[in-house]
C-alpha cells in the first residue's frame, strides 16, 4: 500500500490536485469556488515584488488587492530590474517552498507557514480596508485548515495551494509573452525593455524559463523525497 510519505503516494496526490485544478479553473461556474485561492495567489505574487524591493534597498509603501483579484505593490527605490520579475518568480518560489515543506514536515506545517506569510504581509505592507479584510480572511481560513484538517486532508490542501501559486505564475508569464509585442501596454516585460536594450519578449521568455525550471525541480524533489513516518 502506498503511504503518504512514499513516492507513489506523492504522485497520486499530484494527480488528484492536478485534476481538481482543471475542474475548478475550466468548468464554468466553479471558478467562484476558487476565489479565495485567487486572492491568496495575488497576495503572494505581490509579496514577491515587495521582498525584492526591500532586499535591494527600497521601501514598500503598500500592497493592495481589488475585488477582481488584481494586485499592486507600491514601492520607492530598490533595483527595478529585480523588482519587476519578482512577482512571477517569487510566486513560483513560494509555491516550490511550500510544496517541499508539505513533503518534509507535513501539510499542517505548510498551511501554518502560508498563514504566517500572509500575516506578515498584513502587518508590514497590506493597506486598505478591503485588502486587509482579504488578508485576515485568508489567515483565518489557513489557520483553521492547519488546526482541524486531518493530516492527509491538510497535505492535499497544502499541495493544492502550492501548485496554484506555480500554475498561476506560469499562466501569467504565458499571457505576458503574448502581450510582449504590444508596447502600448505597461507590462513588466515592456518596462524591462525600456530599462535595458533588449525586447520585451526576451524578458518574458527568460522569466518563463526560470519559473519552469524552479517548478519542475520542485516537482521532482517532491516526488523523490520520502518523508519519515510520524
The residue that leads in pLDDT, 151 or 23, is 151
Q: What are phi and psi of 156, to 5 degrees?
A: -65, -45
Cβ pair 114, 144 in contact under 8 A: no
The pLDDT of residue 2 is 41
Q: What is the mean pLDDT of residues 137-141?
A: 97
Q: Give the pLDDT of residue 27.
A: 66
The whole-number average pLDDT for the span 124-130 is 95
Neighbours of 175 (CB within 10 A): 12
For 75, 132, 166, the CA distances from 135, given in Å and listed in that order, are: 19, 5, 20
Spatial contact of 86 and 210, defined as CB atoms under 8 Å apart? no
Q: How far is CA 27 from the centre of its chain?
A: 22
C-alpha cell at 35: 476565489
Please give the model's pTM, rounded to 2 decimal places: 0.87
pLDDT of residue 229: 42
Give how far the C-alpha of residue 152 lies from the chain's centroid of Cα atoms, to the nearest Å.
22
The reported pLDDT for the residue numbered 225 is 61
pLDDT tens across 192-228, in order?
A: 998 888 899 999 999 999 999 999 999 888 887 645 4
Check if the beta carbon of residue 79 is closer than 8 Å to that of residue 57.
Answer: yes
Three-state SS for 13-67 is: HHHHHHHHHHHHHHCCCCHHHHHHHHHHHHHHHHHHHHHHHHHCCCEEEEEEECC
Instruction: List, for residues 14-65, the tens digit of each pLDDT value.
Output: 777 777 776 776 666 666 667 888 999 999 999 999 999 999 999 999 999 9
- Read off the pLDDT of each residue in 133-141 and give the average, rounded to a whole number: 97
Q: What are 175-192's pLDDT values in tens digits?
A: 888 887 777 778 888 889
Amino acid at each position: 500500500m502506498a503511504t503518504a510519505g512514499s513516492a507513489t503516494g506523492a504522485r497520486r496526490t499530484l494527480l488528484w490536485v492536478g485534476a481538481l485544478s482543471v475542474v475548478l479553473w475550466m468548468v464554468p461556474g466553479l471558478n467562484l469556488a476558487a476565489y479565495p485561492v485567487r486572492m491568496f495567489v495575488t497576495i503572494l505574487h505581490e509579496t514577491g515584488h515587495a521582498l525584492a524591493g526591500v532586499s535591494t534597498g527600497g521601501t514598500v509603501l503598500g500592497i493592495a488587492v481589488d475585488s477582481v483579484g488584481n494586485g499592486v505593490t507600491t514601492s520607492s527605490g530598490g533595483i527595478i530590474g529585480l523588482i519587476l520579475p519578482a512577482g512571477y518568480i517569487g510566486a513560483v518560489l513560494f509555491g516550490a517552498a511550500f510544496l517541499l515543506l508539505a513533503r518534509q514536515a507535513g501539510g499542517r506545517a505548510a498551511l501554518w507557514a502560508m498563514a504566517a506569510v500572509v500575516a506578515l504581509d498584513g502587518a508590514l505592507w497590506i493597506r486598505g480596508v478591503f485588502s486587509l479584510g482579504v488578508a485576515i480572511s485568508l489567515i483565518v481560513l489557513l489557520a483553521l485548515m492547519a488546526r482541524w484538517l486531518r493530516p492527509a486532508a491538510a497535505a492535499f490542501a497544502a499541495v493544492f495551494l502550492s501548485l496554484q501559486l506555480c500554475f498561476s505564475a506560469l499562466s501569467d508569464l504565458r499571457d505576458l509573452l503574448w502581450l510582449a509585442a504590444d508596447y502600448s501596454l505597461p507590462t513588466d516585460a515592456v518596462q524591462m525593455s525600456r530599462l535595458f536594450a533588449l525586447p520585451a519578449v526576451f524578458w518574458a521568455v527568460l522569466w518563463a524559463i526560470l519559473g519552469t525550471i524552479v517548478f519542475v525541480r520542485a516537482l521532482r524533489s517532491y516526488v523523490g523525497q520520502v518523508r519519515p513516518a510520524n
